[in-house]
Structure 1
Amino acid sequence: MHLAQELVAYIDRLATLPDVYLKIRAALDDPDVSIPEVADVITTDPSLTAALLRLANSAFYGYARKVESINRAVSLIGLEQVHDLVLATSVTALFAGIRPQRMDMARFWRDSLRRGLLAREVARLVRGMSPERLFVAGLLADAGHLVMYVAVPDLMAMVLDTPLQDNDTLPDVERRIIGCDFAEVGAALAARWQLPVSFGVLIGAQLQPPSAGEYAASAALLNLVSAAAAKAGGGPEHEYPVHPESLSLAGIDAETIEAALEPVEAQLDMMMSVFGTGQ
């Protein structure tokens, strides 16, 4: 049996966040940092610069005029949101070369982006939620599975081949066979990378939103959109079980989530291209 931290320690030898992200996070920790200073750090990495400009000029934001500089992009998007988007682009680039056995990476990225976009779309309708932060939490919500497929492929194969018992869910089987579920591993990864606390809490509590404390409403939203996005992508319902308190905690209804799926699907191919995950 394995602890989530053990699995993350294994993949940590394969994947660490790039220096440019760490420099941007350090800069944003300074309350007096300026937009030009943050832009200067971003432009030291050409691939990150190109990715952020693609994002700023995409339908994700829909600005009327073309954004031609990182300085302008940071000014329009905002410092906290830039942090979250830099994290998103860094993680997608980081995992781009990983090809675990029995994991369809094209489906993984499509499902992850659908979930992130749906979380953002719904969060925009709920007062007090951060759409960009929910987008990134949705994008990273299944990162625990990626770690598990790389670190313990034989055990994950056993999970996939195990017939479900009454009322079983995929996380139940993972806990029985591996000793932890994908949400626990995802939270451990967020802690290992020293991401803002909210990411670890949201990812770790996505199956049990009431345990997220002050982040319970956002964790409930993540729980709901994960199930809806998986269903929209043709995935089995037992992968991302809906918690019975999620609708009331998030303050939304199932119809709102269903209605948000249409614009998300319309954006999905474009966002796969923007993040370089369409291959």
Structure 2
Amino acid sequence: MHVAQELVASLDKLASLPSVYFRIRRTLDDPEASIQQLAEQIGSEPALSASLLRLANSAFYGFSRRIETVSRAINLIGLEQVGDLVLTSAIATSFGGIRPNRMDMARFWRSSVRCALLCRGIAERHHKSDGERVFLLGLLADMGHLVMYQAIPDLIELSMDGTQASLKARAERERQIIGCDFAEVGAALASSWQLPLSIGVTLGAQLHPEQAGEHLRLAAILNTARQIDEHCEAEAALDDMVGQLDLDVLSLADIEPGELPVLISHCEAQLQEMLRSLGLPLH
């Protein structure tokens, strides 16, 4: 992973998770904290407050009366959704200034948020979810490509070779040309941010979950989310999409294929509203 670490280190001003995320996260995790305390913290961040209110008033929730206060929005949509929004907003804000000319940033954010929602949804099917961790994994899954497009745009373009190859095929070509792939760079980024070891291991093994050791199930969930995202971006029909998923990986993730169509449809509806709420491009 030496090359991957060098790529991360080469970006002097690489963004990290901002302090506002950790501050609000501590409040969310504090059983003694009140909704009012959380509302005051979010209220001190105008952009975040606006995103929360847009989400609460979106068609996805369909409340009959307009939600006009942050505390009311928190009460109605729940702490879990608030945590998701805060995390997504923090990462989107941090990386908002990093816009490599050759990278499709609309697709990047769409896929990142979709994978985060899918990871949480899949994990929660069996009530075994560390919600924040699986959501974060989805958001960070393709962050390695953002680093690579920023650090070595010519080489990453060469590795694509003008084709629409699968994620696995693309990663193999990246290793041949660059010496590492986006998953390795993502793991190196997680390490540089001093995120929990499980995050880095899972990101690094997302294409090969069997290599994730004790984090095998998390890696299988992330791999499944990435597969689904690829098919969604290719506008595959829902039934065709599920039929093309790797059954061995689904088994490792403890997922029944029949569970997926409803889950995917639900996540797609959430995706549209989350992107709108944060002002991120839909297409």
Query: Structure 1 length as normaliser, TM-score?
Result: 0.79
Q: Which moved more, 1:82-91 or 1:156-165?
A: 156-165
Instruction: Please say which of residues 67-76 and 133-142 is displaced more in the overlay.
Output: 67-76
Q: Aligned residue for 2:152? A: 152
Number of corresponding residues: 273
Looking at structure 2, the residues matched to 69 and 101 of structure 1 have their Cα atoms a distance apart, in angstroms, of 38
| 1:205 has 2:208 as partner | no
State the distance in 2 between where 1:170 and 1:75 align. Answer: 44
Deviation per CA, 1:24-67: give whole Å up to 9, x if none. Answer: 34556767555444443332221122223333444666667655
Alignment of 1:1-279 (within 5 A): 3-11=3-11, 13-25=13-25, 33-58=33-58, 67-74=67-74, 82-131=82-131, 133-161=133-161, 169-234=169-234, 245-278=248-281
**Corresponding letter in the other structure for 1:116:** A
User: Does the 8 Å contact 2:220/2:253 carry over to 1?
Assistant: yes
CA distance in 1, matches of 2:147, 2:218: 24
Q: Distance in 1 between matches of 2:12 and 2:83?
A: 21
- Would the aligned equivalents of 1:81 and 1:133 in 2 still touch at CA under 8 Å? no
1:28–1:79 CA contact under 8 A, matched in 2: yes
Q: Give, in whole Å, the separation in 2 of the partners of 1:163 and 1:69.
A: 48
Instruction: Identify the range of structure 1 (68-77 vs 182-191) with the bigger mean alpha-carbon deviation.
Output: 68-77
Corresponding letter in the other structure for 1:257: L
Does the 8 Å CA contact 1:11/1:151 hold for their aligned counterparts?
yes
Q: Note the C-alpha offset of 1:16.
A: 3.1
Deviates more, 1:217-226 or 1:113-122: 113-122
Residues 228 and 258 in structure 1, CA contact (< 8 A), matched pair in contact too? no
SS of the residue corresponding to residue 13 of structure 1 reads coil
Amino acid at match of 1:154: D
Residues 105-160 of structure 1: CA distance to partner in whole angstroms, max 9, x if unpaired? 12222222332333333333223124554334223211111111111111101211
Identity fraction in percent: 51
Distance in structure 2 (CA, Å) of the matches to 1:145 and 1:223: 16
**1:15 counterpart SS class:** coil
Greater Cα shift, 84-93 or 71-80: 71-80
Query: Which ranges of structure 1 fall in alignment gaps of 5 or more residues?
Result: none
| Residue 195 of structure 1, CA deviation | 3.7
Query: What residue ranges of structure 2 are gaps of 5+ in the alignment?
Result: 237-243
Aligned 8 A contact 1:84 1:133 in 2? no
| Letter matched to residue 108 of structure 1 | F
Q: Taking structure 2 as the reference length, what is the TM-score of the superposition?
A: 0.78
Residues 119, 134 of structure 1: 8 Å contact kept: yes
Distance in 2 (alpha carbons) for counterparts of 1:138 and 1:50: 24
The secondary structure found in structure 2 opposite 1:169 is: helix
1:224 aligns to what SS in structure 2?
helix
**Cα distance in 1 between the residues matched to 2:4 and 2:100:** 18
Q: Could you tell me whether the CA contact under 8 Å between 2:206 and 2:223 is conserved in 1?
A: yes
| Farther-moved stretch of structure 1 (200-209 vs 67-76) | 67-76
The 8 Å contact of residues 35 and 79 in structure 1, kept in 2 or not, is answered as no
- Letter aligned with residue 273 of structure 1: R
State how far apart, in whole Å, the 2-side matches of 1:259 and 1:80 are: 20
